[in-house]
Amino acid sequence: MGIFLTAEWRYLAMLNYAVDPQMLLPRVPAGTELDFFDGQTFVSLVGFRFLNTKVRGIPVPFHRDFDEVNLRFYVKRREDALVKRGVVFIQEIVPRRAISLVARLVYNENYRRLPMRHEMKRAGAGLSVQYEWRLQSHWNRLTVHAKSEPRQMVDGSAAQFIAEHYWGYCAHPDGGSLEYQVEHPPWKIWEMERAEFAGDAEALYGAEFAGILKQQPDSAFLAEGSPIAVHTARRLA
């Protein structure tokens, strides 16, 4: 399939929570199955910078650089001998209406438009990154405090499992599901000193995920990011 969108994803703050797989099963797209790491399934709250965005090679005025925060989980799809490891988005938040509209029309993703802002601070070799998004009058935030310099991910690590899913899957409104490929090189990551989410999780994601997000994450990391390419979606039977 051709490339639909190119951009850079930078400073990806990822908070990861182990969950009961039963709560995710109703959301698993047709043709895929839950992906496990060390016998556990995970949801991740991810904030990042979306930069230099182009659709079909054309930059869209006022929509090139923006923030995104998404809540997602992990699946895989077997295609003959190939295992495609992918992501399913529970909700994606962006600050621009046009971005939300295009994503819904082209990929049937659950995008939501809210006011957003971010802040980054250097502290020696460390880095603090914060993403905020406003629902009604309340600002919610995702914050990570990283130390040292970014390093390559360890093969077989939890961080590698979370970061290296190169496919996206979502339900098609007429049945079946959609599949699309996301290309990017492996990312370097920072070690964490502290990571947290603070906000109205129930208003944002519903009661079933509120209890999860109120806990401390099971793991967290900050990824350096890279240029990415998102391919056009194809429908699976």
Q: In the predicted model, what is the mean pLDDT of the chain?
A: 92
For residue 61, the model assigns a pLDDT of: 65
In a domain, 181, yes or no: yes
- pLDDT over 90, % of the chain: 79
> pLDDT confidence of 75, banded at 50, 70, 90?
very high
Q: Which residue has the tokens 């990415």?
A: 228
CB 218 within 8 A of CB 155: no
Give per-residue pLDDT as tens, 207-225: 999 999 999 999 999 999 9
Whether 233 is in a domain gets the answer no
Q: Is the pLDDT of residue 185 over 80?
A: yes
Q: Which CATH number characterizes residue 217's domain? A: 2.40.400.10
169: tokens are 């899957």
Q: How far is CA 215 from CA 19, 52, 191, 219, 222, in A?
A: 11, 34, 20, 11, 19
pLDDT at 62: 62
Phi, psi dihedral angles at 203 (to 5 degrees) = -65, -35
Range from 103-112, 160-169, 177-186, 228-237 carrying the lowest mean pLDDT: 103-112
Tell whether 142 is covered by a domain. Answer: yes
CA distance 76 to 107: 18
| pLDDT, position 64 | 83
CB 49 within 8 A of CB 9: yes
What is the tens place of the pLDDT at every residue in 136-157?
A: 999 999 999 998 889 999 999 9
**DSSP line for 61-79:** TT-SSEEEEEEEEEEEEEE
**Cα–Cα dist 217/43, whole Å:** 10
Q: How confident is the model at residue 96 (pLDDT cuts 50, 70, 90)?
A: confident
147 in Cβ contact with 125 (< 8 Å): yes
Mean pLDDT value of segment 104-111: 70
Looking at residue 13, its pLDDT comes to 98
Residue 232 in any domain: the answer is no
Cα 45–chain centre separation: 7
Q: What pLDDT digit, counting tens, does each position of 16-68 carry?
A: 999 999 999 999 999 999 999 999 999 999 999 999 998 887 777 667 899 99
Give φ, ψ of 21 to 5 degrees. Answer: -60, -25
Is the pLDDT at 166 greater than 70, yes or no? Answer: yes
> 172: domain range?
3-227
Contact 70, 99 (CB under 8 A): no
The structure's pTM equals 0.94
Structural domain includes residue 133: yes
Residue 235 counted as domain residue: no
Q: Give CA–CA dist 161/18, Å, rounded.
A: 13
Q: Is residue 234 part of a domain?
A: no
Whether the predicted pLDDT of 104 surpasses 80: no
- As for how many domains the chain has, the answer is 1
